[in-house]
Structure 1
Amino acid sequence: MTDAPPPSQRSRMRQFFRVALRYWGDRETRWRAWGLTTAVLFFVAAQIASAVGINKWNRLFFDALEKRDVPGVWSATGWLPLLVVATALSVSGLVVCRMLLQTRWRENLTRRVSGWWIADQRYYRLGFLTKKLTAPEYRIAEDVRLSIEPLVELAIGLISAFITAATFAAILWQVAGSAEVTLGTVTVVIPSYMAVAAVLYAVIASLAAYLTGRPLVGLVSRKNEMEAQFRAEMTRLRENAESIALIRGDADELSTAGENYRRVVAAWLRIVRQQGIIALVLNTNGALFPIVPLLLIAPKFLVGSVTLGAVVQVVAAFSAVQAALIWFVDNFVRLAEWFASVTRVDELVEELQGLDIGTIMEADTQIELGESEDEAIHIENLSLAHSNGRVVVADATVAIERGAKVLIAGESGSGKSTLIRALAGLWPWGSGSIRVPAGQSIAFVPQKPYLPRGTLRSILLYPASERPVDDETITGALQRCGLGYLSRRLDEEEDWDRILSGGERQRIAFTRLLIQKPDIIVMDEATSALDEESQEVLLGLFDNELADATLISVGHRPGLEDYHEQKITLERRPAGAHVTSKPIGRSLWRLFRSRRAANEDTAD
């Protein structure tokens, strides 16, 4: 398969809006969305109406000053409080409605993207399928915000600019009138010359801003990528702090962090250089545009064609038209930053939408997951491969009866953990089928159990934290797994993942099994942090409380065979690991355990 060409900027925008604009179409959000949009547009119109009122007030006031008309001055002054109140209310209303629209729209898009990320284990599979897409959590938390909040402000600004330009251009047309330019014996009349001048000036300024600012889009995108990688490295350092500290890896980590931050600085310096060029254009425009209308209207004032009030009104109207028409100039940097975030969000959405099993593999290279016709787990003609096509496990066919205790063994790298991932439905590369009995619950116990934030009770009941379980059941399970001393702390909220040792976390996992009583249990090195005596106690649960559960476990430690009755061995070969299955006799071990239990009872 050949890589497709990267999407164009227009394609990125179209894909982003196809997802983001669902806020106005979803049944649950459309009424709120349209209500907030209507409120924003109302206050935009009110704000522009207030600006027009102030523009006309300027003419009345300065005409009265020019004529030294005291009653006229006082009359104009009397209207000022009303204009101030109207302006304040319209601006305040627009700010509140704008922020509400930003918050609710971001909430909708964040929920949608994070839902895609978390659903169907995409957060897990994403790391296998793409290496170029870094820090998806940063894209959801930060880039979604940066793609929505500026968009609302930019959209409001664009609408305001269009209406303002049209409104104040009409004022220029009416007040400034035409200009006569004499060239020798020919007199040329330029109708509405102030409006024409404002448009020409804005076109020149916008073109200059576009040419100087265009490279900024790629630079900002590169900067955001470097920032995300730096944050990811810092997170990795924090999550592995103990391991790094124990092996004295400080110097190496400091060097790595310094190198990552140098990339951030380099990306920022490129932006600074380009911002300097853009600033030169923007500041030149900022210095010129208040002066240009004065120079254009001055000849008409000097010959008495317009009043002082008309001059003030024309200058204000020209500035308003100019500010509206060079909206692109003033916002080019923000547009570049916004589009960079849109690109990163769209890349994430694109990857997440492509994570469906049917789209990431060709039709003839899928692992078929289904329900078995009996109560056994059937693995048939299963081949597992890496993303580069290298086969790890070849043509495995195994049946695991209900209640069986199965050990998966093999040398390191033979594909044991990959087989576990395939059983969990997390591994997309391969062929064959895995069929599990319908209606049976499955629990997976990894080497390092996940402990979410919250109370100890919620951790023990995870992932069904709201499930009603009485304290006696929880306390009994803790006692059975050697964690009885934690029974008094069920409702304490601590950073348990940091507080508990590796062995205690593995005991927590077994406590969960006692509480939840799943039908099928899949373990991957689940007792690696325990001593042999503790391992014996916990694996003994599968002869007692969990005797009815089907057990599939991966492990290297000696003596594990004594706790299982079937062994699946993965023998590494060039064409992929060969899989064999054979029964294990447990009679001697059961006899030894029963005699030891009898001796203990006699001693008691």
Structure 2
Amino acid sequence: MMDGGSTVGRGSWGKDATAPMSSGASWFEESQLGRFTSTDMSLLRSSTSRRRIIPEDPLYCGANLTFRSISHVNPHSPSAHFTTFTLFATASMPNVHSKLLPVERTVKGIIKHLTVLYLKNRTRISRAVYIALFVALINRIRNAVDQQKAAAKREAERRQRNSIKLVDDPAEGDAAGKKKKKVELNREFFRSLLGLLKIVIPGWKSKEMRLLISHSIFLVVRTLMSVKIAAMDGAIVKSLVKGNGKEFLMRIFWWMVIAVPATFTNSMLSWHQAQLSLNYRTRLTQHIHDKYLSNLTFYGISALDDRIKNPDQLIAVDVARFSNSLAELYSNLAKPMLDMTIYTYELSSAVGGEGVMFMSLLVQLSANVMRALTPPFGKYVADEARLEGEFRFAHSRLIDYSEEVALYGGHEAEKNTLDKGYFTLIKHVNYILRRRFYHGFMEDFVIKYFWGALGLCLCAVPVFVKLPGHILSGAMNMGDRTEEFVTNRRMLLSASDAFGRIMFSYREVMELAGHTSRVASLLEVMNDIQKGVFQKKLVSSGDTDDNAAVLKGRGKIVESEDIRFVDVPIISPNGDVLVRALSFHLRRGDHLLVVGPNGCGKSSLFRILGGLWPVYGGAVHKPSFHSIFYLPQRPYLSKGTLRQQITYPDSLRVMKSKGITDIDLMTILRQLDLAHLVELYDEGLDAEAEWRDTLSGGLQQRVAMARLMYHRPRYAILDECTSSVTLETEKAMYDGAKALGVTLMTVSHRRSLWKYHTHILQFDGQGKYVFTKLDAERRLQLEDEKEELDVKLRQVGEIERRIGELSAA
């Protein structure tokens, strides 16, 4: 091309210098313009260089053509010479372009013209592109922030609406319980993750922060060493292409030398990741244990709130998975992002920033498509963990109720339950595997092959394209071209691998979102329970509106020496209001007997008194938590020594700090006829066993009473705690407790216990109650008389029938 025109024809002619010039002595090659005549030849020979001519051929009528000739002398025959010429059509002649030029040459000319134009304005165009990308990024961030604010507002409104509510239809409650929080990368996820990060990394001077800094340093070192190794790979191949054996061996030697710190760096990165995971889990587990085992939170989760079904699964499994995922994600994100930054800079210096940018746009486009087609793996992980917990809970429940199931012969029903839970889990796992197969197929094809092809094209840019500030590879020797290509190829593969890991990490981020959602939900529920906020699906058999009004209220708790209830509602576990306003006053030394039919509110009363159940109204005056001791019908025996069963929850150190010795414990055991337990074992009080399985029901109740006599509380709640002992043992238990100055509050149907109490609280099961002093002897007489009258009333029908028979006779 010359003067903005296009080549339309080429030719040549030759002559002997001594021969006269004639049309017969001249010849011309057939060109795109066709065969020239002798007249045309004369015209061309007489034309000066780059002179514009107008041919007579109608095909070129009106077209300005430019002629350029170059004379050549034959060195072997100086008397002979030949001339070459080229015809150019100016770009301003559309008819010539449309009639004479092939389409591919027109497109090529346009592309070449645009390339020249771009190279002239490269700096301005690059600046405009960077500004446009920056503006687009800012706009995208602003839109994302607006969307997250709207989502947070909706979430706040939803949380405000959620409170304890009654559900008339159990199916409605089940349907509401099936609504799960959507696991996705939103503001809620980042808020929850930030809250967990504050727990696992408590400060800048913490051990975890030091590990993170050290880990980051090794990541930078590893990336810089990878760049150096890439350059060394190119140099090794260059020496191999040149055939320089000495240089090749020397570069191999230095390549092996740098491999020592490189492998050490990789090992340190693995160690840092494992150590971070362990430290994260330790911090988070300790934090959860502190919350879980304070203010009776563990009881509230299992009895007063339905949001967490399996806290053991969350604490033991999900916390570990979250810690591993968080530690791995930092390595899998920080290293690739650092690699992408450094390798992209190196590649842009080697092959030009335009190629890197164009390839990045294609990669970003394909990444967006992949992201749109990526299944919600975070939700899948959360659902899988939930199903795992439910399956584990089913086995745990079977172990707890193994005796009852065996007596009912319910092994087939339990097998069906376990199989249903397992196959539900397996069905979900298989579904995840199928989705991962299709997603993995798409992901591998795009990342390994499509992006690999783009990388090869990018590495070839210096070979075929002359970029400003770069030497065209054609002007370089074979070794230099090979070195540059291998180095660029190695850096490109590393950059592609880094971007691939970033893309793969999206799935890991979604899995982290699932673990974060479950762990954060546990912490959120524990915080709510400690604030007295519960969410429980209740099925009420009474007036829903009236019960809901009672459940929304909150009473107050006042610490005092006596026990006093003032207009306190008694609520059943299923949400029924059993007593709307209970009031009584029990002074220290007044022993209370609580009686009534099943489901009348006896256990709920003691749950409120023990601080297990919230106060829904009125006021409860009671001593501190540690001044009230509770003995259930089935006592809890901890894992440990016989001494620990008596002193629970005190440790041996605490026992000694109270001035109590093993001699004092033996005195208590003898009083309850338990001294023989010490004699059964050579270790004595230090003997360890699974006491729940070793001791009978009666012995367990006596050990529980020994525990009460060791602690000597002000008040004791005895819930059918003598149902498995003899009357003589029962007398020893109650007499011993009263001798220690313990005020007793007993729930029992045994008439033998009446004589140990001074007051009675009787529920009728219809919402009414009576609180009065108890005259045990008088009441026993009345009860005996009542039973006699009941027997006589049952005989009335038989007497009337007999009288009728006699009258008829």
1:539 to 705, 725, 734: 734
Match of 2:757 in 1: 564
Q: Kindly indicate whether residue 636 of structure 2 is the aligned counterpart of residue 450 of structure 1.
A: yes
| Distance (Å, rounded) in 2 between the aligned partners of 1:30 and 1:459 | 42
| 1:345 lines up with 2:531 in the alignment | no
User: Whole-Å Cα distance in 1 between the matches of residues 764 and 442 of structure 2?
Assistant: 69
Alpha-carbon distance in 2 for matches of 1:453, 1:504: 16
Q: How does 1:45-444 map to 2 (within 5 A)?
A: 45-175=220-350, 177-178=351-352, 191-193=353-355, 195-196=356-357, 198-288=359-449, 289-298=451-460, 304=474, 307-360=481-534, 365-372=553-560, 375-386=561-572, 390-437=576-623, 441-444=627-630
Distance 2:673 2:191 in 1: 54
- Shift in Å at residue 18 of structure 1? 3.7
The residue number in structure 1 matching 2:668 is 477
Q: Distance in 1 between matches of 2:700 and 2:191?
A: 44
What's the offset of the Cα at 1:8? Answer: 7.4
Distance of aligned partners of 1:226 and 1:477 in 2 relative to their CA distance in 1, 3 Å threshold = same
Q: In 2 relative to 1, CA 524–108 (structure 1 residues): closer, same or farther, beyond 3 Å?
A: same
SS of structure 1 residue aligned to 2:295: helix
Partner SS for 2:729: helix
| Equivalent AA in structure 2 for residue 470 of structure 1 | T
Stretch deviating more after TM superposition (406-415 or 137-146): 137-146
Distance 2:520 2:729 in 1: 49
Separation in 2, partners of 1:299, 1:53: 22
1:15 equivalenced with 2:191 (yes/no): yes
Matches of 2:441 and 2:630 in 1, distance apart? 61
Classify 1:73/1:363 alpha carbon distance in 2 versus 1 (closer, same or farther; 3 Å).
same
Counterpart in 2 of 1:554? 747
1:517 corresponds to 2:705: no
* 8 Å contact from structure 2 (residues 709, 737) kept in 1: no
What is the CA-CA distance between 1:286 and the residue it aligns to? 5.0
SS in 2 for 1:131: coil
Q: How far 1:71 moved relative to its partner? A: 2.7
Distance apart, 1:355 and its partner CA: 0.8
Contact 1:378 1:399 in 2 (8 A): yes
Cα distance in 1 between the residues matched to 2:354 and 2:612 = 69
**2: CA distance between counterparts of 1:516 and 1:536?**
19
Partner Cα distance (1:579, 1:74) in 2? 102
| Aligned partners of 2:322 and 2:512 also within 8 Å | yes
Contact 1:445 1:526 in 2 (8 A): yes
Whole-Å Cα distance in 1 between the matches of residues 645 and 327 of structure 2?
Answer: 40
State the secondary structure of the residue aligned to 2:751. Answer: coil
In the TM superposition, what whole-angstrom CA distance separates every residue of 1:310-344 from its partner, at most 9, and x where no partner exists? 22211111111112223332223322222111111
The one-letter code of the counterpart of 2:734 is L
Shift of 1:419: 0.3
Residue 171 of structure 1 deviates from its aligned partner by: 2.0
Residues 196, 295 of structure 1: alpha-carbon distance in 2 compared, 3 angstrom cutoff:
same
What TM-score does the superposition give when structure 2 sets the normalisation length?
0.66
How far apart, in 2, do the equivalents of 1:217 and 1:211 lie? 14
Query: Aligned partners of 2:580 and 2:247: how far apart in 1?
Result: 96
Instruction: Give the residue type in structure 2 aligned to 1:248.
Output: G
Q: 1:140 and 1:487 mapped to 2: Cα distance?
A: 37
Larger radius of gyration: 2
Q: 1:386 to 1:287 in 2, by over 3 A?
A: same
Q: Which moved more, 1:482-491 or 1:302-311?
A: 302-311
CA distance in 1, matches of 2:676, 2:359: 79
Cα deviation code 1:28-59 (max 9, x no counterpart): x8431221111111111111122112111111
Structure 1 spans left out of the alignment, 5+ residues: 179-190, 590-604
Aligned residue type for 2:387: M
User: Counterpart of 1:377 in structure 2: which amino acid?
Assistant: I
Closer, same or farther in 2 for the Cα pair 1:8/1:95, shift >3 Å?
A: closer
Q: Is 1:459–1:465's contact at 8 Å kept on the other side of the alignment?
A: no
How far did 1:160 drift? 1.2
Shift of 1:138: 0.9
Q: Could you say if the C-alpha distance between residues 249 and 270 of structure 1 is closer, same or farther in structure 2, counting changes exceeding 3 Å?
A: same
Separation of aligned partners in 2, 1:378 and 1:307: 94
Deviates more, 1:69-78 or 1:9-18: 9-18
* 2:650 partner SS: coil
Distance 1:91 1:498, change over 3 A: same
| One-letter amino acid of the counterpart of residue 668, structure 2 | A
Count of aligned positions:
568
Q: Deviations over 1:212-245 (max 9, x none)?
A: 3233222222221111111111111112222222
Once the 2 structures are TM-superposed, how far is the Cα of residue 273 of structure 1 from its aligned partner?
2.1
Amino acid across the alignment from 2:196: A
What's the CA shift string for 1:500-547, capped at 9, x where partnerless? 222222111011112222221111111123244432332232353x3x
Q: Is the 8 A contact 2:551 2:616 kept in 1?
A: no
The 8 Å contact of residues 288 and 523 in structure 2, kept in 1 or not, is answered as yes
Q: Which has the higher contact order (CA 8 A, sep 6+)?
A: 1
Is the 1:420–1:522 contact (alpha carbons within 8 Å) kept by the matching residues of 2?
yes
- CA RMSD in angstroms, aligned pairs only: 2.7
In structure 2, how many angstroms separate the alpha carbons of the residues matched to 1:137 and 1:264?
18
For 1:523, what is the secondary structure of its paired residue? strand
One-letter amino acid matched to 1:264: L
Asked if the contact 2:570/2:582 (under 8 Å) is kept, the reply is: no
Summarize deviations over 1:172-224 as a string: whole Å, max 9, x none: 1233x25xxxxxxxxxxxx542x235423532442243223233222222221
Cα distance between partner residues in 1 of 2:707 and 2:240 = 85
Of residues 41, 44, 52, the one that matches 2:216 is 41
Tell me the distance in 2 between the aligned counterparts of 1:554 and 1:537. Answer: 18
Do 1:520 and 1:551's aligned partners in 2 also have CA atoms closer than 8 Å?
yes
- Cα distance 1:134–1:396, how it changes in 2: closer, same or farther (>3 A)? same
Cα distance in 1 between the residues matched to 2:779 and 2:581: 34
CA contact (8 A) 2:755 2:777 kept: yes
- Corresponding letter in the other structure for 2:191: Q
Query: What is the deviation of 1:299?
Result: 7.4
**Percentage of identical aligned residues:** 23
User: Distance in 2 between the 1:200 and 1:72 partners?
Assistant: 40
Contact 1:206 1:326 in 2 (8 A): no
Q: What CA distance in whole angstroms lies between the structure 1 residues aligned with 2:677 and 2:573?
A: 43
What is the rounded CA distance, in whole Å, between the counterparts of 1:24 and 1:226 in structure 2? 27
Q: Does the residue aligned with 1:464 lie in a helix, a strand or coil?
A: coil
CA distance in 2, matches of 1:17, 1:140: 17
Relative to structure 2, which stretch is displaced further, 297-306 or 48-57?
297-306
- Of 568, 573, 581, the residue aligned with 2:772 is 581
